[in-house]
Amino acid sequence: MAVIAVVNRKGGSGKSTLATHLACYLAMQGLDVMLGDVDRQQSSRLWLSLRPETRPKIHGWTIDERNFARPPAGVRHVVLDTPGGFQGIGLMKVALYADAILIPATPSLFDRESAAECLKELRIQPRVMTGKCRVAGIGMRIDGRTRNAAVLEQWATGLGLAHLGTIREAQAYARCLEQGMAIFDMPPEKVATYLTEWSPVSAWIDQVLAGPQAETAEPERRPAVLARQVPAPAAPAVPAASVMREAPAFLRS
C-alpha cells in the first residue's frame, strides 16, 4: 500500500487540484485508490460526488484531522488532501504513515514561505529523515507568460527540495473538476500538452509505488502512462464514443 499526502499550510496553493489528479492517475492505472479528504472545506469529497459512474472508481474517505488514523484495512493506495494550516500533531501523524508527500506552491511569496516552513517541519520527522517518506515540491497555477516557473525551480533548488516542475494555470482544470474528472480522464490526443506537464509527477508516483528499490534520482520527463494503455481489470470497458460524450464541450471540438 502507498499513502501519498498533499501538504501546504497555505490555502489556495492548489492542494485539492493536485490531490484529485493524483487519485485519478492511480485509478486510471487500474489501481484501487482512496481519496482521503482531511480539509474542512471537503473540496475533494465534492469532486468525488460529481464523478461519473463510468469513470474508474475512486473511493472516498472523510477524515477528522484531530483524530487521523491509519487508512482502513484492505485499501491499496491512499491520496490525502490536507487542509490549510496543517501542522504540529496532524502533520506528524501524516508523516508516520505517508510514503510520499507532495508540497504544492504558487509563485507568491506567502506560498513559498508557507511551503518552506512546512518542509522544515517535515524534515525533522523520523520517516522523512530516513528516506522512508519521500518529499517533493511542485509549482501550481503558473502563468506561462512569466518567469514564475523558473523562480519556483530556483527556490526549490535553494531548499534542496526535489522539484517536479510546474502546472500552468488553465481553464481546462476548472472545467474538468466541475464534472468530477481530471486531465487524465480525457482522451490523450486532446490533452497532450497538459500530460507533458504532469509527466514528472507521474514518473515520481511510479517510483513511490515501486518501493524502496526504485531509483531516487529526479524522474525523467516522459509521457504519462494512461489506463487506455494498461486497462483496469475490474472496470468495464467504456467505448471511446462514450468517453467523448462525457468530456467537457471544450475538449470535444
Residue 144 has a pLDDT of 81
Rounded Cα–Cα distance for residues 15 and 22 (Å): 11
Residue 216 has a pLDDT of 44
Question: How much is the pTM?
Answer: 0.79
The domain over range 2-252 is classified in CATH as 3.40.50.970: no
Q: Quick one: CA dihedral 210, 15, 244, 187, positive or negative?
A: negative
Contact 246, 55 (CB under 8 A): yes
Sheet holding 2-6, edge to edge: 59-62, 33-37, 77-81, 2-6, 100-105, 134-142, 162-168
Domain boundaries defined on the chain: 2-252
Question: How confident is the prediction along the chain (253 residues), in pLDDT tens digits per residue?
Answer: 899 999 988 778 889 999 999 999 999 999 999 998 776 667 888 899 999 999 999 998 766 555 555 666 667 899 998 877 666 787 888 888 899 999 999 888 888 998 999 999 999 999 999 999 999 999 998 988 889 999 999 999 999 999 999 999 999 999 999 999 999 999 999 999 999 999 999 999 999 999 865 444 444 333 333 333 334 344 444 443 443 344 444 334 4
Rounded Cα–Cα distance for residues 173 and 218 (Å): 26
Residue 1 has a pLDDT of 81
Residue 93 has a pLDDT of 84
Rounded Cα–Cα distance for residues 208 and 51 (Å): 26
